[in-house]
Amino acid sequence: MRRTCSECKAINRIPVRHLADSGKCGKCKAALPPHDLPIEITSENQFDDIVAAARVPVLVDFWAPWCGPCRSVAPEVKKAAHNLAGKALVIKVDTDVLGDLAQRYQIQSIPNFAVFSGGRLVRQRAGAVDHRQLERWTVEPH
């Protein structure tokens, strides 16, 4: 993944396993905070790489652009990503674009949330929830 330094605007390559870590810009050495926004997944390979390599839990938001509840919960997902920075990663899977992933995890209704830890699915639930519930659910022991 790539992150732009807020100080010098240099593009830094961040290994997936370090997305939840703080780091430094390779050019100016300014602090790069942990990733704090939902990551839009563009391929099954990207999804598999993040879930397998992450050293923190991964909260997955399965959604679609036509889904009203999905759109209404999107700000809550964004808040959860911000609040979980350094403790978990939040990723978004558009089920219209990546239908094979939706089938793999038997997504029958959206929004649908899943938590992966150590590369394994540890919990999953359908329905809209607020950011506090998402945060608690993501970090609670499995």
Place of tokens 């519930």: 133
Distances (CA, A) of 56 to 21, 85, 86, 102, 111: 10, 10, 8, 22, 22
DSSP 118: T
Cβ atoms of 26 and 12 within 8 Å: the answer is yes
**Is residue 80 helix, strand or coil?**
helix
Measure the CA–CA gap between 12 and 20, rounded to whole angstroms: 15
Q: Would you call 8 a catalytic residue per the annotation?
A: no
Q: Which of 5, 8, 25, 70 is catalytic?
A: 70
Q: Which two tokens stand for residue 41?
A: 């997944």
Q: Which of 5, 8, 25, 67 is catalytic?
A: 67
Asked if 5 is an active-site residue, the reply is no
Residues labelled as active-site residues: 67, 70
